[in-house]
Chains A and B, each alone.
Chain A
Amino acid sequence: MKVLSFIISVIILALATTGVYRYLKQDWLLYRTAQDLSRKEAWAQTIPIYENLVKRGFRTRDTLRLLAQSYEKEGNLAMAIAAIRELAVLNPGDGPTALQLAGLYDRTGDHRDAADIYYALLAREPANRAIEIRLARALAASGRFDDAILRYKAILGEKP
């Protein structure tokens, strides 16, 4: 009889714990559900979850990045840009976020805004050849050929 009551107590405790967990850790559960969906590439389903989590202020930086990724994978670059811009506002000096934003601008054909970001990044890291070439490409793509030519010549170590 004692054993039986012990087993029942353990089961009740386990159920109660699970219930309390689900109540206290709702955001974590949603976050992990969205990550599982991401692994299955169910981007359309992850977006409302991440949107909800961002509104609730749950791990805002990570969640914004994941939201942007979901929008990007879903092909909605405008919304991906909106999410990364929000992230860039939260992390004003964050180079990788700025670089990601510039890459998205380039993909949407907004090469002017991309070039502005590359200029700012180069001011911080003047010897970064990869950013220099991205800038040259953005300048060429936005029709600023002479500026692009100067950049390419600088990359090749040639006189303008």
Chain B
Amino acid sequence: MKPLSIILTAAVTFAAIIFLTVPPSSSAREPKAPALSTASAEEIPDWLARWELARTLSYAKRYDESVAEYKKLLKERPDLSKAKIEMAKILFGQKEEQEAIAILEGVDPRQFDIDSVLLMADLYRDRRSYDRAAPLYRRYLQKRPGDNAARLRFAEMLSWEKQYEESLAEYRKIIAVLPDDVQVRRKYAFVLMWSKRYGEAAAELRRTLK
């Protein structure tokens, strides 16, 4: 019994020393800083850089150069529907409507991501193709009900089409979220006026003066 006791005591003491002196190992899942080599390894294909260049040229209002870059991009990647729509938008701005329409009509609307749906809706609205724009706005707002800027454009468009009830319904949704937005309320009041609801229009206009 005695030798066993000595061995056990020695083992426990040794374990205690180890326990107290060796620091606990840090977790294997400790986060690492992103290495520069990680950044180097990110794949940025030329077509993506060219797309960003085309966009930046349009922000800089260098539209001709932007369209030229979009054309080069689409030659390499004809599947980029969103790039086509962006280019069409620039062409519309440059009064090259025929070319823009030709591009748009070559795009299958079912392929659009939700941002492209809005772009397309805005383009149809700009060219007064309201019947084409309306379903696209509805589709977009179903996915992004909180985009009040898009909803406002849709509401305005409906009022131009004399679809006052639907327009007012859209305005009410915006006002429910932005009750202090005087500009929106004023536009809402005008639509009320156009729909001959003069009393309500006056009340809304009065609220904008407070």
Contacts and interface: CB of A to CB of B under 8 A. Distances in A.
Contact of B23 (A6, A25, A65): A25
Interface in B17-49: 19-20, 23-24, 26-27, 29-31, 33-36, 38-42, 44, 46, 49
Interface stretch (B55-63, B99-107, B135-143): B55-63
B183 interface: no
Nearest to A158: B53
Contacts of A130: 39-42, 44
A39 B27 CA distance: 10
B40 A140 contact: no
B31 A66 contact: yes
B19 A149 contact: no
| Interface class of chain B by DSSP | helix
Interface in A1-59: 2-3, 6, 9-10, 13-14, 17, 20-21, 24-25, 28, 31-32, 35, 38-39
A125 to B, nearest CB: 7
Interface residues of B, number: 37
B56 to A, nearest CB: 5
Contacts of B39: 99, 128, 130-131, 134
A136 interface: yes
Given A32-B27, A96-B33, A155 B20 contact: no
Interface string B96-137: 000000000000000000000000000000000000000000
Contacts of A121: 36
A32 B42 CA distance: 32
A3 to B, nearest CB: 8
B53 A10 contact: no
A4 to B, nearest CB: 12
Contact of B44 (A3, A13, A39, A133): A133
Contacts of B178: none
Contacts of B26: 31-32, 35, 62
Nearest to A27: B23
Contacts of A28: 23-24
A136 B33 contact: no
Contact of B40 (A97, A129, A152): A129
A116 interface: no
A59 B31 CA distance: 14
A111 interface: no
30 contacts: A2-B1, A2-B5, A10-B12, A17-B19, A20-B20, A35-B27, A35-B29, A39-B29, A62-B30, A66-B30, A95-B36, A96-B33, A96-B35, A96-B38, A99-B36, A125-B36, A129-B44, A130-B40, A130-B41, A131-B39, A131-B40, A133-B49, A136-B52, A137-B52, A140-B55, A145-B60, A149-B56, A149-B60, A152-B50, A156-B49
Given A25-B24, A65-B33, A156-B49, 13 more contacts: A31-B26, A35-B26, A66-B30, A97-B33, A99-B34, A100-B34, A129-B40, A130-B44, A134-B39, A137-B52, A140-B56, A145-B60, A149-B60
Interface of B: 1, 5, 8-9, 12-13, 16, 19-20, 23-24, 26-27, 29-31, 33-36, 38-42, 44, 46, 49-50, 52-53, 55-57, 59-60, 62
